[in-house]
Each structure stands twice: as structure tokens, then as C-alpha cells.
């Protein structure tokens, strides 16, 4: 059993570069490193892209990052026809920061949306330009204008965003922390990562393994583009960057 990859992005989402050592190449051409700043697709947030640079200056373009059999296993997927490093080689890592920062802003905005719309979540997908959160909500009863205004208030307040680790028992004692209807945070690992917003988590806290901005003000202008009906009991809210378009 290999030691798991150290997930540097979990403690510092703002790392744009780092050094790492190649641990292994898996049988499908994926690269496993001893540590990484590349977030692997999970929890509705897509994995990072970027490149690795070898000692001789050659670059390996990384087209995506995924998890393996366990969430601790982080696999970097090279684009086709890339030079391959050898196990043991030290490489420089660089993520596509512009894309990642958009994902961090969007992802944090999705948390704020669950504050404005405190309903059970049935699905979510974060993307660079457009994200969605699905709620178990038979009747929206809210307009995109109202929700956008509430979101902008939380963004303008520039609340701090921070993480805190709690035990399985602490989570079990506070079931309301879990907002997802179908997905339970992984239990049995002994600790759960909580993402908190506001001084002393006054705005929100929920289990999440993704990457977020450090203050809500960094999200910038964002709006609810659409509230769609998805079946009898589901409403899909779409978030987009920029001001609410004038109808």
C-alpha cells in the first residue's frame, strides 16, 4: 500500500505552484505524486488542469485530475503524446490558476446559495462559467432577482471562509450540518472537513472537500441565471458570473 498523496490544496487552496516527486505511473498512463496542488474531480467540482515541469525543462500537460479507488488516491492525467517522467523524478507543478480561481469563486457561491435557499440539496455541479445546485423544493417561491440580491449581500459583507476538522461523533451530534439529501460525508475516517463562512461560522458550515476562496468578497459579481423545474419535487438554480441581465 502506497502512502497517500499529500493534498496540499486542502490546507492552502491558493497554491499555484509546488515541487513534488513522481511516485508511480499507473497502467492507464496516470501519474501519482507524493504531494500535489491539483484538485481531483469530486463533490461536484471538476479536477485541475495545468502542467508538470521536469528538471530538463520539458513539460507534461495535465488534462485532468481524478481520484482512484479511494478519494485519497489522486491521479494526474497527461494530455495525449506527452513525455513521461520516471518514478523518483522531481517535478515542478503548476495548475491553470485562472480556471481554478473561477472554480473556487463559483464553488463558494454555491455554498452561499444554500444559505439563501436552505433546502435539501439533491445535486450540484461547479463549472467555470455556469454552476448548478438542485434542491428538493416542490415550489420555488423565490425569484432569481431576490436570490441574486441576497447572494450579493453575503458577497459584499466579505465574510471570511475557513476550514475546521471535526470528528465523526461531532458530526453525528449535529445532523443539520449535512445539507445534501442523498450524499453523506465519508464516515469512518475519524475526521470530517467543515467549510465555515462568517466569524465563528455565523453564516454557514457544512462538510466539503473542495477548494474555496478565503473571503466571500472574492466571488465578485454573480447572479442566478435561471430557476428551472426538474421534475415535480426539484428546482435547479443556475449561477453565472456578472450582473443579473436586464430583462
Q: Which residues bind Zn ion (CB under 5 A)?
A: 195, 208, 210
Compare residues 151 and 208 and give the one whose CB is closer to Zn ion: 208
DSSP output for 186-231: PPSSSEEEEEEESGGGSSEEEE--S---SBGGGG-SEEEEEEEE-S
Q: Looking at the DSSP assignment, which residues form a beta bridge with residue 234?
A: 136
Compare residues 49 and 211 and give the one whose CB is closer to Zn ion: 211
Report, in Å, the least distance between residue 111 CB and Zn ion.
6
DSSP output for 23-58: EEE-TTS-EEESEESPPPSBTTBPPP-EEEE-TTS-
Report, in Å, the least distance between residue 93 CB and Zn ion.
22
Compare residues 210 and 225 and give the one whose CB is closer to Zn ion: 210
Report, in Å, the least distance between residue 71 CB and Zn ion.
14
Report, in Å, the least distance between residue 26 CB and Zn ion.
28
Compare residues 32 and 161 and give the one whose CB is closer to Zn ion: 161
Here the cell at position 31 is 501519474
Compare residues 14 and 84 and give the one whose CB is closer to Zn ion: 14
Compare residues 12 and 146 and give the one whose CB is closer to Zn ion: 12
Host H or E run for residue 9: helix 8-11
Confirm if 32 and 7 have CB atoms less than 8 A apart. no
Report, in Å, the least distance between residue 239 CB and Zn ion.
13
Contact residues for 210 (Cβ-Cβ < 8 A; gap 6+) = 39, 42, 43, 44, 45, 107, 126, 195
Rounded Cα gap, residues 7 and 182, in angstroms: 26
Report, in Å, the least distance between residue 232 CB and Zn ion.
28
In the complex, residue closest to Zn ion by CB: 208
Amino acid at each position: 500500500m502506497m502512502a497517500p498523496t499529500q493534498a496540499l490544496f486542502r490546507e492552502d487552496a491558493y497554491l499555484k505552484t509546488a515541487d513534488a516527486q513522481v511516485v508511480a505511473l499507473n497502467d492507464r498512463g496516470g501519474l501519482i505524486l507524493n504531494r500535489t496542488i491539483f484538485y481531483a474531480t469530486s463533490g461536484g467540482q471538476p479536477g485541475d488542469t495545468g502542467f508538470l515541469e521536469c528538471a530538463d525543462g520539458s513539460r507534461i500537460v495535465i488534462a485532468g485530475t481524478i481520484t482512484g479507488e479511494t478519494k485519497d488516491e489522486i491521479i494526474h492525467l497527461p494530455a495525449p503524446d506527452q513525455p513521461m517522467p520516471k518514478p523518483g523524478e522531481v517535478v515542478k507543478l503548476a495548475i491553470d490558476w485562472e480556471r481554478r480561481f473561477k472554480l473556487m469563486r463559483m464553488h463558494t457561491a454555491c455554498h452561499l446559495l444554500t444559505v439563501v435557499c436552505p433546502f435539501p440539496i439533491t445535486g450540484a455541479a461547479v463549472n467555470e462559467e455556469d454552476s448548478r445546485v438542485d434542491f428538493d423544493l416542490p415550489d420555488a417561491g423565490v425569484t432569481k432577482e431576490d436570490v441574486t440580491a441576497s447572494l450579493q449581500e453575503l458577497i459584499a459583507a466579505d465574510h471570511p471562509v475557513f476550514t475546521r476538522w471535526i470528528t465523526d461523533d461531532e458530526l453525528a451530534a449535529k445532523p443539520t450540518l449535512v445539507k445534501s439529501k442523498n450524499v453523506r460525508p465519508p464516515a469512518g475516517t475519524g475526521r470530517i472537513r467543515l467549510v465555515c463562512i462568517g466569524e465563528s461560522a455565523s453564516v454557514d458550515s457544512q462538510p466539503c472537500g473542495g477548494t474555496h476562496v478565503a473571503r466571500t468578497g472574492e466571488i465578485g459579481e454573480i447572479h442566478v441565471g435561471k430557476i428551472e423545474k426538474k421534475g415535480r419535487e426539484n428546482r435547479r438554480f443556475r449561477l453565472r458570473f456578472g450582473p443579473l441581465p436586464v430583462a
